[in-house]
């Protein structure tokens, strides 16, 4: 997911998306520990998506204040 796509969403959508990505990251980590994860690159992608969402949320909060 690209930052431009994320930045176009409003705050409530971003919070919902953040919660989904964090639960996905949790599931991926569990699969990694139980040796069920075939592509470990998915963890890296999920972490970067979470960082992009948090960056967009912070920029929106700064504009509001």
- Residue 18, pLDDT score: 97
- Residue 1, pLDDT score: 84
Residue 64's pLDDT band (cuts 50, 70, 90): confident
Average of per-residue pLDDT across 21-31 = 98
- Domains of the chain, earliest start first: 3-64 (1.10.287)
pTM of the model: 0.91
Residue for token digits 């948090």? 54
Residue 5's pLDDT band (cuts 50, 70, 90): very high
Cα 7 → chain centroid: 13
């Amino acid at each position: 997911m690209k930052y431009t796509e994320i930045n176009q969403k409003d705050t409530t959508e971003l919070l919902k998306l953040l919660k989904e990505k964090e639960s996905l990251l949790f599931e991926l980590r569990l699969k990694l520990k139980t040796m069920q994860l075939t592509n470990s690159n998915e963890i890296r992608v999920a972490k970067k998506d979470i960082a992009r969402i948090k960056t967009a949320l912070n920029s929106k909060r700064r504009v509001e204040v």
